[in-house]
């Protein structure tokens, strides 16, 4: 009788140990993380310990139950791990969506949009190596990248000597781009075409990662959706760039057409535009300011269309009435340009105020010193210099050094002294010797 009781007690102890370990394993599984995987070890360990109890005798049902417990825990762990990874992926997608609009809104050039795209891919963590490939001058380049692709930035993808395939073929470009990575780092890859409106090709997005886990369908769908968004922004940016180019060409053509009325000064607009831009760059102006300056230089004499030919081409000095007619041309040009809403204020300032003087003796408003807008102050120097060094109906061309002496003499009177100093250094510098005729 005692033996029967002992046997039952040992069986009960083994069962209790297995039951307790199963409860712990399930609790560990529900907590997630490393404990979930520990449960797969602890439960079999409890089973083995129950076998080691003195006199333990587990029935086939006990063994089958233990095995089912291990298998069940394994299934729960794997499925829960997948769910855990999906939740983290969804969280990264939401986070990327939140930052995406801000990044793209602040991207004002195709290159900036491409960089924003690779940053979004980095945030998703779908792949450590990302490259944005687009065409420049007919050749494919990696223009934005993360991971190991960064070392290949701004280098064209070239076919091998024995490869006759077109460099415009997306599959070739993708293969060539991926081949830049070590094989181990591109075991898994995904290539997404970037397209604008009506399927216009804008580039390729290359994603590569090591390991044997292929890209999940959810990853491909999210990457594809972000790629469509990038394509839309790139297409819009391209359209805006084309519009800006059209504006630039239109304004340049308008400036050239104005010169047709004044044959003696042919080339004046292009000369003063080029020299003004060079001076602005030497002074450290940003490209937005320089564009406004360039457009103003194209249009600075627009108001002269209101001046009669008899005055514009008069070989001798002007009388008082004729001088007043000439002095109205900055305001006439300014008024004409009011309806061109894409022109920046700095451009209109140049057209209106480029005949003002540092000492307040200019026209049309008699502005003084720093009250004269920057674009107008800079351009005034270049405009007068060109007028002095090229022939006009009323005068011969001056030698360069005489013109520079006059510019220096007018510093603090007609011109901003600081700009005069920079201008003289520019004209006399060795790399600008071609400016000296």
Of 167 and 223, the one with more pLDDT: 223
At 61-93, the pLDDT tens digits run 454 554 455 555 454 444 544 444 555 555 555
Q: Is the pLDDT of residue 128 over 70?
A: yes
Q: Is the pLDDT of residue 321 over 50?
A: yes
Which CATH code is given to the segment(s) 262-435? 1.10.3210.10
pLDDT of residue 92: 56
Average pLDDT, the chain: 77
Of 283, 311, 288, 315, residue with least CA distance to 382: 283
Q: Is the pLDDT of residue 46 over 70?
A: no
Of 192 and 237, the one with more pLDDT: 192
- Name the percent of the chain lying above pLDDT 70: 67
Rounded mean pLDDT of 97-114? 68
Contact partners, residue 234, CB within 8 Å, separation at least 6: 110, 113, 114, 194, 196, 202, 203
pLDDT of residue 262: 62
Could you state, in order of their start, the residue ranges of all structural domains in the chain? Answer: 2-88, 107-239, 262-435
pLDDT of residue 220: 86
Rounded mean pLDDT of 336-351? 90
Shared fold status for 107-239 and 262-435? no
Evaluate whether 130 touches 205 at the Cβ level (below 8 Å): yes
As beta bridge partners, residue 193 has 204
Task: Using pLDDT thresholds of 50, 70 and 90, give the confidence band for residue 328.
Answer: very high
Contact partners, residue 264, CB within 8 Å, separation at least 6: 313, 391, 392, 393
112 membership: H or E segment, kind and range: helix 110-124
- Name the percent of the chain lying above pLDDT 90: 33
Q: What is the DSSP letter of 429?
A: S
Joined tokens for residue 328:
């109205």
Q: Is the pLDDT of residue 148 over 80?
A: yes
pLDDT of residue 167: 45
Q: What is the pTM of this model?
A: 0.55
Joined tokens for residue 327:
């002095």
Task: Using pLDDT thresholds of 50, 70 and 90, give the confidence band for residue 228.
Answer: confident
Q: What is the DSSP letter of 354?
A: T
Of 144 and 12, the one with more pLDDT: 144
pLDDT of residue 423: 97
Which CATH code is given to the segment(s) 107-239? 3.30.450.40
Rounded mean pLDDT of 307-327? 86
Residue 381: how many other CB atoms lie within 10 Å? 25
Rounded mean pLDDT of 125-150? 87
Of 13 and 242, the one with more pLDDT: 242
Joined tokens for residue 337:
């340009």
Residues in the chain: 437
pLDDT of residue 317: 85
Task: Using pLDDT thresholds of 50, 70 and 90, give the confidence band for residue 398.
Answer: very high
pLDDT of residue 165: 45
Give the relative orientation of helices 268-282 and 374-389 as an angle to the nearest 10 degrees.
Answer: 130
Q: Is the pLDDT of residue 158 over 80?
A: no
Contact partners, residue 115, CB within 8 Å, separation at least 6: 107, 132, 144
Q: Is the pLDDT of residue 436 over 50?
A: no
CA distance 14 to 194: 63
DSSP string, 260-298: TT-GGGTTHHHHHHHHHHHHHHHTT--HHHHHHHHHHHH
Contact partners, residue 358, CB within 8 Å, separation at least 6: 368, 369, 372, 377, 412, 413, 414, 415, 416, 417
Q: Is the pLDDT of residue 258 over 80?
A: no
Q: What is the DSSP letter of 319?
A: -
Which of helix, strand or coil describes residue 371? helix
């Amino acid at each position: 009788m005692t033996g029967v009781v002992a046997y039952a007690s040992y069986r009960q102890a083994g069962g209790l140990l297995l039951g307790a370990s199963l409860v712990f394993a399930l609790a560990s599984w529900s907590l997630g993380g490393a404990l979930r995987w520990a449960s797969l070890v602890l439960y079999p360990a409890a089973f083995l310990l129950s076998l080691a109890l003195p006199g333990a005798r587990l029935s086939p049902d006990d063994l089958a139950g233990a095995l089912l417990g291990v298998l069940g825990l394994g299934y729960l762990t794997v499925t829960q791990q997948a769910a855990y990874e999906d939740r983290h992926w969804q969280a990264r997608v939401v986070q990327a969506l939140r930052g995406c609009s801000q990044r793209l809104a602040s991207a004002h050039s195709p290159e900036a949009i491409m960089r924003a795209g690779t940053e979004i891919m980095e945030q998703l963590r779908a792949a450590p190596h990302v490259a944005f490939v687009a065409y420049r001058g007919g050749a494919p380049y990696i223009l934005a990248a993360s991971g190991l692709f960064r070392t290949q930035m701004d280098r064209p993808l070239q076919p091998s000597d024995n490869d006759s395939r077109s460099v415009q073929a997306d599959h070739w470009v993708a293969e060539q781009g991926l081949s830049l990575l070590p094989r181990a780092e591109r075991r898994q890859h995904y290539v997404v075409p970037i397209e604008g409106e009506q399927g216009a090709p804008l580039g390729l997005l290359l994603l590569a990662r090591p390991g044997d886990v292929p890209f999940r369908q959810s990853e491909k769908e999210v990457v594809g959706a972000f790629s469509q968004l990038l394509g839309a922004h790139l297409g819009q940016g391209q359209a805006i760039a084309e519009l800006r180019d059209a504006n630039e060409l239109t304004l340049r053509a308008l400036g050239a057409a104005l010169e047709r009325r004044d044959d003696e000064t042919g080339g004046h607009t292009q000369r003063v535009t080029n020299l003004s831009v060079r001076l602005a760059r030497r002074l450290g102006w940003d490209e937005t300011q320089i564009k406004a300056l360039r457009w103003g230089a194209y249009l600075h004499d627009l108001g002269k269309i209101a001046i009669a030919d008899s005055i514009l081409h008069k070989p001798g000095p002007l009388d008082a009435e004729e001088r007043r007619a000439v002095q109205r041309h900055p305001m006439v040009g300014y008024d004409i340009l009011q309806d061109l809403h894409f022109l920046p204020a700095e451009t209109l300032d140049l057209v209106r105020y480029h005949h003002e003087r540092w000492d307040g003796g200019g026209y049309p408003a008699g502005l003084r010193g720093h009250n004269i807008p920057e674009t107008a102050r800079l351009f005034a120097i270049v405009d007068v210099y060109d007028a002095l060094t090229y022939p006009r109906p009323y005068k011969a061309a001056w030698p360069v050094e005489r013109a520079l002496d006059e510019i220096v003499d007018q510093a603090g009177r007609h011109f901003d002294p600081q700009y005069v100093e920079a201008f003289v250094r520019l004209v006399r510098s060795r790399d600008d010797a071609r400016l000296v005729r």
